[in-house]
Amino acid sequence: MQTLSASATETAHPTVTPEPAAPPLDLELTQKDLSIEPMPLRAGFPFTVTAVIHNNTGVSAVDVPLMVYVSARQEGIGYSSFLQLITVTVPASQSLPVEVPVNWNFAGGEHQLWIQVNRLPKVWQPRVPTQAEANTANNLALLDMEVAPFDAYTSNLCSGRVDVEVGPGDVLPDVGRQQMQVRVHNVGNRAMYNLPVVVTGKELTGIAYTPAIPPCGGTADVSVQLDRPLETGEVISVQVNPTEWAGSLQEDSMDNNQITATAGLAPEAASSHAEPWDDYDFALSTEDIETPEKWTVVVTVHNVGTRDAARVPIRVENQAGRKIVDSIPLVQGEGIGVAAIRVGYLWTPGGTLTFTVNPVDAKGAYPERNRENNVATFPLP
């Protein structure tokens, strides 16, 4: 019988040295690691959350889940919280700043930002599993957020001047009428109110006062009662906020406060007078609707008009005729408004939802000339 030598035995059964187990993760995220820009937060304006995640071990944290959650302290009916779940890789022994844009249109009030890394509620773990970590107590950060409500009376969207104006297209002296319409524009950055509008002519006067005029392009239409009906070819003068009046408002520019006009304007000249509904022109399309989560839709509404519009009504209806009416906190002039809407009551897999922004019969609807692009349909998954 042949006997194997010791060296032969070692060759047949080599000794396997087990690899050392990788150390568990040790990630850290605290309140001091959170920041928000730009500040202060304002209703209807997007912002960015930056979270700095620290990796306190010598092994990379690959594809760990990060959950960002924003909710109101007092959630009202129709309110939808912001929720985003992503994965990040934090290099060994390093810190990683992660920027998360928040484009949802939050109304004013107290909110709370809640961020967790590698620590999720059990209901979320089947989607993106967490990784082994001995201590996750320091993986959570909370931050209180105060969102300023939309203010129709002050704005930093335009220059800091104080200025109202009236132009040729803002005056309509109609022959035979004993009153005339004057439109006053506010191009300053704070609201104006109770400004005198004075009309003078030959043996003719009229005075009226403006209501509150929103800033940054807001307008007010004033009806001025005259002493007598206007005659053809009569020249009149219209002046807003006359400087000679006691207590008149001090403006940065008074050169645009007065205009002359002639009664009996040609129709083409009169047509230059803008109508109130030209300030608002909302638009919505299917491409502007998405479903980040089941029973929640995110809608982006466009405003081709020039004026900011607060609490714009929007109606959602399913094929069975069930409907809900919500509102978008702010749709900026010549901009957008983004809001999340809970539609669980209307949700039918494979069904269709119809969205109507600024319905003409809704409470708080805005005057609008063009409503042809206010409706969009969206197929549910």
Q: What is the per-residue DSSP string for 50-68?
A: EEEEEE-SSS-EEEEEEEE
Q: Looking at residue 287, what is its pLDDT?
A: 94
Asked if 368 and 280 touch (Cβ cutoff 8 Å), the reply is yes
The span from the first CA to the last CA of the chain, in angstroms, equals 75
Confidence class of residue 274 from pLDDT cuts 50, 70 and 90? very low
Confidence class of residue 189 from pLDDT cuts 50, 70 and 90? confident
Among 260-274, 278-292, 356-370, whose mean pLDDT is lowest?
260-274
- Highest-confidence segment of 60-69, 147-156, 323-332: 60-69
Q: Which H helix or E strand runs over 72?
A: strand 61-72
Question: Is it true that domain 164-274 has CATH number 2.60.40?
Answer: yes
3: pLDDT strictly greater than 80 = no
CB burial string 316-338: b at 16+ within 10 A, e below: bbbeeeeebebbbbbbbbebbbb
**Residue 60, φ and ψ in degrees, nearest 5:** -70, 140
Question: Residues 269-298: what's their mean pLDDT?
Answer: 74
Residue in this structure with the two tokens 């009806």, named with its chain if needed: 223
The Cα–Cα gap between 239 and 123 comes to 66
Q: Look at domain 27-148 and name its CATH class.
A: mainly beta
pLDDT, the chain, mean: 84
The residue among 117, 103, 126 whose CA lies nearest residue 61 is 117
262: pLDDT strictly greater than 80 = yes
Q: Looking at residue 73, what is its pLDDT?
A: 81
Confidence class of residue 365 from pLDDT cuts 50, 70 and 90? confident
Asked if 356 and 327 touch (Cβ cutoff 8 Å), the reply is no
Question: Residues 202-209: what's their mean pLDDT?
Answer: 91
Task: Give the percent of the chain with pLDDT over 70.
Answer: 87
Q: Looking at residue 216, what is its pLDDT?
A: 75
6: pLDDT strictly greater than 50 = no
Q: Cα separations (Å) of 227 from 74, 178, 179, 230?
A: 55, 7, 9, 9
Among 151-165, 226-240, 298-312, whose mean pLDDT is lowest?
151-165
12: pLDDT strictly greater than 60 = no
Question: Residues 163-171: what's their mean pLDDT?
Answer: 86
User: 278-379: same fold as 164-274?
Assistant: yes
The Cα–Cα gap between 146 and 189 comes to 23
Per-residue pLDDT reduced to its tens digit, 335-349? 899 988 889 889 999
Between 340 and 352, the higher pLDDT residue: 352
Q: Looking at residue 305, what is its pLDDT?
A: 84
Q: Looking at residue 28, what is its pLDDT?
A: 93
Question: Is it true that domain 278-379 has CATH number 2.160.10.10?
Answer: no
**How remote is the C-alpha of 71 from its chain's centroid?**
16
Per-residue pLDDT reduced to its tens digit, 86-104? 999 999 999 999 999 998 8
Question: Residues 55-82: what's their mean pLDDT?
Answer: 84
Between 139 and 79, the higher pLDDT residue: 139
Confidence class of residue 309 from pLDDT cuts 50, 70 and 90? confident
Q: Cα separations (Å) of 266 from 15, 39, 231, 236, 278?
A: 104, 51, 14, 16, 22
* SS3 of 134-196: CCCCCCEEEEEEEEECCCCCECCCCCCCCCEECCHHHEECCCCCCEEEEEEEECCCECECCCE
292: pLDDT strictly greater than 90 = no
Q: Looking at residue 233, what is its pLDDT?
A: 86
- Virtual torsion, Cα 263, 269, 271, 277, nearest 10 deg: -90
Per-domain residue ranges of the chain:
27-148, 164-274, 278-379
Q: Looking at residue 270, what is its pLDDT?
A: 38
Question: Residues 135-154: what's their mean pLDDT?
Answer: 85
Q: Looking at residue 71, what is its pLDDT?
A: 87
Between 376 and 280, the higher pLDDT residue: 376
